[in-house]
A = this chain, B = another copy of it.
């Protein structure tokens, strides 16, 4: 059984329909057939007084149950342009906005994948009846419609739609109705703060949709042009991540998310019962990606969910997010890992700027942001240099402690001022603030062969050389107060000959959030999970 089928095996036994149910379905089908037959010409509701009645109406469900392959061609809204002038096109999309002008004219803005076109109904003999205009204006917003009409090119720019042509409507069918009242309107959800403020100054109070309402009705919220852009950008980041790494000899793996015991332990873990065994959800693919290196996989990456039960109520923490993880053999130095990070992210940023301008400008329109500043060769500072820069700016921190959110942000500012970049690597972190499997520096037990990477003053990547010698790994785990018995399968993996290696982990949602300078990670997670939200 594959994915979708097996998920319902529990219902499979119940699914055999009773005779009563079959009879009911049969009655329903007959009703639909009768309705279709009554329409005589096309299967739409008929106004018997209107000779043009076949040109509009609701398509009955039966016609949408894969009844026929007509050979009709639908044109995508985003492909509508003046080259199609005077041609007849058929489009499917949503009735985003509907406006009547008297009883003889109506405008319907049709949206598909964030692109919009203005459709015009004008009463004319043998073409458009007043009843058809009435039908159009009675449509509920966000209903799915099929519109057939002739492309025209108006003399002036169209401000209410993305496409600079209009459709002179000849046929209009409703494919599926939306509820007459929607919890949020797309135009409200798509509005920028700037617009709201500007209107307020002009004495007009526009609707502001707050973050929580958006998430409650995410299916509506993600229809906005900015959100359509965000999730395509997210995919693009992933895509370039994969392409770049593949060109460097990496390949993708899938490690288990169900882990015996309590994984690396602590309170940040989701626990569950696995067939009578205590288990938990992987907080990262760390252990298994390292094991795959011990298994001669050489250079690997993984893109997959990562689970954190932390009670972090911040703009940048989620309980479930998409981890981009990398692990690789190193020949001599952890700088080989930083080299990959450096070129990988410059490649991603370049590609976003070059190929995603439509998406970026859709995001920018609602959430204005400045283009990310980054260097061709990524700046690398040691932790000690960072501490020194902070000190010179009057910020004293523990030289062997960690940075906090505030000092990270401050250092980001200082780096931007001094080096003109919002993307940089900070390395040689104090050993004491890194996980037990981090390799200490060769020349000091206080520091480690590790690094963090920052975008706009916020951390997005952690990486390091790992301890590859099992005896030393045991020693380090014990030093960190970890019960070695609980990680014995992990440590055993190194007993059969492990090459020197290192790697890093990135949060996909954070990359997108920070590249676009968005204020909340919930904006870049499709259906976010935080300590207070597990729906929809």
Minimal beta-carbon separation of A257 from chain B (angstroms)? 5
Contact of A505 among B4, B329, B480 (CB under 8 A): B4
State whether the Cβ of A259 lies closer than 8 Å to any Cβ in chain B: yes
State whether the Cβ of A247 lies closer than 8 Å to any Cβ in chain B: no
Contact B70 A3 (CB under 8 A): no
Size of the chain A interface, CB-CB below 8 angstroms: 185
Contact A219 B527 (CB under 8 A): no
Most buried by B among A178, A279, A481, A527: A527
Contact A266 B536 (CB under 8 A): no
Q: What is the chain B residue whose CB lies nearest that of A257?
A: B305
Minimal beta-carbon separation of A218 from chain B (angstroms)? 7
Contact A499 B12 (CB under 8 A): no
- Chain B residues contacting A449 (CB-CB under 8 Å) are 65-66
- Given A66-B332, A266-B9, A480-B11, verify A493-B254 contact (CB < 8 Å): no
- Given A10-B264, A114-B296, A332-B72, verify A176-B499 contact (CB < 8 Å): yes
Contact of A65 among B177, B178, B441 (CB under 8 A): B441
Contact A251 B272 (CB under 8 A): no
State whether the Cβ of A26 lies closer than 8 Å to any Cβ in chain B: yes
Q: What is the chain B residue whose CB lies nearest that of A498?
A: B176
- Chain B residues contacting A235 (CB-CB under 8 Å) are 251-253
Q: Which of A202-210, A372-380, A381-389, A462-470 lies on the face that meets chain B?
A: A462-470
- Given A15-B480, A17-B479, A535-B260, verify A178-B432 contact (CB < 8 Å): no
Complex Cα gap A375–B263 (Å): 47
Q: CB-defined interface of A42-86 with B at 8 Å, one 1/0 digit per residue?
A: 000000000000000000011111111110101000000000000
Which 5 pairs show the lowest CB-CB distances between chains A and B?
A10-B266, A3-B505, A25-B445, A178-B497, A5-B462
Q: What is the chain B residue whose CB lies nearest that of A283?
A: B7
- How many identical subunits does the complex contain? 2
- Given A4-B435, A66-B441, verify A272-B272 contact (CB < 8 Å): yes
- Chain B residues contacting A485 (CB-CB under 8 Å) are none
Contact A7 B435 (CB under 8 A): yes
Contact B445 A29 (CB under 8 A): yes
- Chain B residues contacting A346 (CB-CB under 8 Å) are none
Contact B335 A66 (CB under 8 A): yes
Q: What is the chain B residue whose CB lies nearest that of A465?
A: B66
Q: Which of A101-109, A152-160, A319-327, A362-370 lies on the face that meets chain B?
A: A319-327
Contact of A306 among B3, B72, B529 (CB under 8 A): B3
Given A4-B435, A67-B443, 11 extra CB contacts under 8 A: A2-B460, A4-B464, A5-B435, A65-B441, A65-B442, A66-B333, A68-B333, A112-B296, A176-B468, A256-B534, A489-B536
Q: What is the chain B residue whose CB lies nearest that of A461?
A: B2
State whether the Cβ of A170 lies closer than 8 Å to any Cβ in chain B: no
Q: What is the chain B residue whose CB lies nearest that of A4?
A: B505
- Chain B residues contacting A6 (CB-CB under 8 Å) are 268, 283-284, 308, 310, 462
Minimal beta-carbon separation of A525 from chain B (angstroms)? 8
Contact B92 A331 (CB under 8 A): yes
Complex Cα gap A177–B292 (Å): 18
Q: Which of A129-137, A190-198, A220-228, A409-417 lies on the face that meets chain B?
A: A220-228
Most buried by B among A112, A449, A462, A504: A462
